[in-house]
């Protein structure tokens, strides 16, 4: 399947799941599960920073349009996309990212996924909740939301990959 078509389908599915399912969950305590940053992580490695940031901005804006969050998701997606090349370079394999189509847990390994996506998701969530609350004296609220949402979002992204991505068979 064409990379453009695959990413377009993925775009629609991630938006629909975030908007129709995750945004409507009433978990309480400030927990807000977010799966959509995984879409930005799964974009091709060789994508340049500017196209990556444009796609992330449009993606976040689409979620904002359905969530009435007025640019909160767009700015958070932009921050995620801005730091993605930096974090990828920091944790790049010795041979680089050549011949790798998707940065999933299967293609890159759990340790790489834990470090890169965990760090990027942390940056995303910190930005999201700071901008959402927008009061430094509410640091306890920000930390509570961060501590409750970050592990759930990470596990949701991991579970999504285990369900929808196939492990590559070893070539004989």
Residue 83 exposed, middle or buried by CB count within 10 Å (0-12, 13-18, 19+): middle
On the question of pLDDT at 18 being above 90, the answer is yes
The pTM of the full predicted model, rounded to 2 decimals, is 0.91
CA atoms within 13 A on the CB side of 127: 20
DSSP 68-87: T-TTHHHHHHHHHHHHHHHH
Average pLDDT over residues 20-25: 92
pLDDT (0 to 100) of residue 167? 67
Taking only the tens place, the pLDDT of each residue in 106-146 is 888 899 999 999 999 999 999 999 999 988 889 999 999 99
Taking only the tens place, the pLDDT of each residue in 74-103 is 999 999 999 999 999 999 887 777 766 678
Give the pLDDT band of residue 169 (cuts 50, 70, 90): very low
DSSP 94-135: TT-STT-----HHHH-HHHHHHHHHHHHHHHHHHHHHHHH--
């Amino acid at each position: 399947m064409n990379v453009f078509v695959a990413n377009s389908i993925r775009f629609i599915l991630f938006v629909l799941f975030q908007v129709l399912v995750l945004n409507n969950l009433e978990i309480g305590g400030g927990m807000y599960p977010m799966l959509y940053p995984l879409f930005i992580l799964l974009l091709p490695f060789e994508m340049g920073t500017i196209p990556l940031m444009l796609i992330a901005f449009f993606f976040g804006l689409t979620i904002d349009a359905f969530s009435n969050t007025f640019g909160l998701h767009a700015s958070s997606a932009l921050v995620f996309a801005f730091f993605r090349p930096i974090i990828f370079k920091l944790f790049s394999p010795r041979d680089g990212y050549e011949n790798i189509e998707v940065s999933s847990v299967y293609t890159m390994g759990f340790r790489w996924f834990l470090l890169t996506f965990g760090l990027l998701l942390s940056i995303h969530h910190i930005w999201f909740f700071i901008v959402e609350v927008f009061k430094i004296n509410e640091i306890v609220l920000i930390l509570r939301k961060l501590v409750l949402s970050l592990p759930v979002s990470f596990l949701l992204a991991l579970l999504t990959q285990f369900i929808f991505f196939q492990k590559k068979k070893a070539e004989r």
